[in-house]
Amino acid sequence: MSDKATLEINGKKYEFPIVTGSENEVAIDIKNLRGDTGGVITIDPGYKNTGSCESAITFLDGEKGILRYRGYSIEELAEKADFLEVAYLLIFGELPTQDELNKFHSDIKKHAVVDDDVKKILDAFPKSAHPMGVLASLTSALTAFNPSSVNVDSEEEMYNAIVRILGKFPILVAWTMRKKHGMPLDYGSSSLGYVENILQMMFKRPDEDYTQNKILVNALDKLLILHADHEQNCSTSTVRITGSSHAGLFVSLSAGISALWGPLHGGANQAVLEMLEAIKEDGGDTKKYMAKAKDKDDPFRLMGFGHRVYKNFDPRAKIIKKAADEVLGDLGVEDPILDIAKGLEKEALEDSYFVDRKLYPNVDFYSGIIYRAMGIPTEMFTVMFALGRLPGWISQWREMRMRKEPIGRPRQLYTGETQRPFKEISKR
């Protein structure tokens, strides 16, 4: 392949370098386009064809259904690693040795406490507040109690900011749920594993010891690993672009949480369950909802189907579908919602509308079903996604800052009014 791409505008030719990634993906480097051409830009709403950065963290091939973190396949990581190992791998680039992992966990535990004044902020929210709004606010509020900016040239400062947020974030997650249920806030126990402690912080009743259920621990561990990173999606790009102004880590993460909240992104897992509930309430007629999803005059979409990059299948969905069957089987859960989900899945996979558009179930079609079986309320599903995505956001933010990337500032094609004289209010 040629190492240059040629662009012709008004009879004049411009050459741009072609760059290739380590998996032979090809990109045209247009950094000099505007300068060379005297103002021409590219336009690509939704960034379907635009690479915003070079990254060495996550590789995915949507056509082949491949997802790898730092070169390791998601299938192997989900089977053989735990969430904390995967977090370390994403952030620092290599799987940790046992000693490195022990130190990492022990450093995280040292920071697994939040300033008691954070409780006052949490108290000020009404119980009806959506947990994602509360989580975004509390994550941002942490800045008030911690150093706001990190010297990216200091490895120690970077490391401390990372273990600090990995320690504090699960507490905020658990507290948003306990607040909703009027449960006293709990700090869990430093003797537990990272994921066990999350479950204890979320579910421990004040009057009882909490007994860990291995099936739930494994299921949550797997779910968190599957959600841990997904290269330049909406929330991750938000974290990178917010951090590119040198805003601190915590506020950049808070921006990512807000971006994740939307139903077309992380909010889909909540939307899936709400959709399944609505179908059940409406008599369980999946065919009716399939017809609505295909009707161009109806805004209804089959939530949990389709993906911007996976146009074959979502490899995470395959793993999670198996985990969902195991968890529900082991817990002995019989749920009519699950039958509706299976019915919709079967119909969609055989329907030419979905087949032709390559719309397959995505990870969020199944994750909500597992969360529900675990006793996690629907409104908390996207919060659980944020918990899983935290190491991905951190690693992407760290990469962006360490590479000293410039501030993110896209261009636009202006389509508004040209210059016109001001009209006095009496003449409008």
Q: Does 78 engage in binding with ligand ACO (CB under 6 A)?
A: no
- Rounded Cα–Cα distance for residues 111 and 134 (Å): 21
Closer residue to ligand ACO, CB minimum distance, 203 or 385? 385
Shortest separation between residue 357's beta carbon and ligand ACO, angstroms? 4
- Options 82, 229, 345, 364; binder of ligand ACO; rule CB under 6 A: 364
Nearest residue to 361 (alpha-carbon basis) of 272, 239, 298:
272
- Rounded Cα–Cα distance for residues 181 and 184 (Å): 9
Q: Does 368 engage in binding with ligand ACO (CB under 6 A)?
A: no
Catalytic residue at 307?
A: yes
Shortest separation between residue 225's beta carbon and ligand ACO, angstroms? 14
Nearest residue to 293 (alpha-carbon basis) of 283, 279, 273, 280:
279
Tokens encoding 30: 């247009």
Which residues, at least 6 apart from 62, have a Cβ–Cβ distance to it below 8 Å? Answer: 307, 309, 310, 311, 312
- Options 19, 264, 355, 402; binder of ligand ACO; rule CB under 6 A: 264
Residue 207 Ramachandran class (φ > 0 left, ψ -120 to 50 alpha, else beta): alpha
- Rounded Cα–Cα distance for residues 370 and 216 (Å): 9
Closer residue to ligand ACO, CB minimum distance, 196 or 364? 364
Residues of the chain by 3-state class (helix, strand, coil), percent to 5: 55, 5, 40
Residue nearest ligand ACO by beta-carbon distance: 306
Question: What residues from 18 to 37 belong to the interface with ligand ACO (CB under 6 A)?
Answer: none
DSSP β-bridge partners for residue 28: 18
Shortest separation between residue 378's beta carbon and ligand ACO, angstroms? 15
Q: Does 369 engage in binding with ligand ACO (CB under 6 A)?
A: no
Catalytic residue at 229?
A: no
Q: Does 341 engage in binding with ligand ACO (CB under 6 A)?
A: no
Amino acid at 379: E
Closer residue to ligand ACO, CB minimum distance, 171 or 348? 348
Residue 246 Ramachandran class (φ > 0 left, ψ -120 to 50 alpha, else beta): left
Angle between helices 194-203 and 83-92 (to 10 degrees): 120
- Options 224, 253, 259, 303; binder of ligand ACO; rule CB under 6 A: 303
Closer residue to ligand ACO, CB minimum distance, 111 or 240? 240
- Rounded Cα–Cα distance for residues 353 and 32 (Å): 42
Task: Give the number of other Cβ atoms within 10 Å of residue 80's Cβ.
Answer: 10
Q: Which stretch binds ligand ACO (CB under 6 A): 154-162, 172-180, 186-194, 356-364?
A: 356-364
Sign for the CA dihedral angle at 239, 244, 245, 246 comes to: positive
Q: Does 383 engage in binding with ligand ACO (CB under 6 A)?
A: no
Q: Which stretch binds ligand ACO (CB under 6 A): 195-203, 214-222, 273-281, 357-365?
A: 357-365
- Rounded Cα–Cα distance for residues 419 and 41 (Å): 22
Question: What residues from 90 to 109 belong to the interface with ligand ACO (CB under 6 A)?
Answer: none
- Options 301, 318, 325, 349; binder of ligand ACO; rule CB under 6 A: 301
Shortest separation between residue 264's beta carbon and ligand ACO, angstroms? 4
Cα end-to-end distance, the chain, whole Å: 60
Site string for ligand ACO, 224-243 (x = CB under 6 A): --------------------
Q: Which stretch binds ligand ACO (CB under 6 A): 1-9, 72-80, 305-313, 414-422?
A: 305-313
Shortest separation between residue 266's beta carbon and ligand ACO, angstroms? 6
Contact 173, 135 (CB under 8 A): yes
Tokens encoding 256: 């990512």
Catalytic residue, chosen from 130, 186, 307, 314, is 307
Q: Does 302 engage in binding with ligand ACO (CB under 6 A)?
A: yes
How many residues touch ligand ACO (CB under 6 A)?
18
Q: Does 265 engage in binding with ligand ACO (CB under 6 A)?
A: yes
Sheet holding 26-28, edge to edge: 4-9, 12-20, 26-28
Q: Give the footprint of ligand ACO on this chain (CB under 6 A).
A: 264-266, 268, 293, 301-308, 357, 359, 362-364
Active centre residues (catalytic): 307, 364
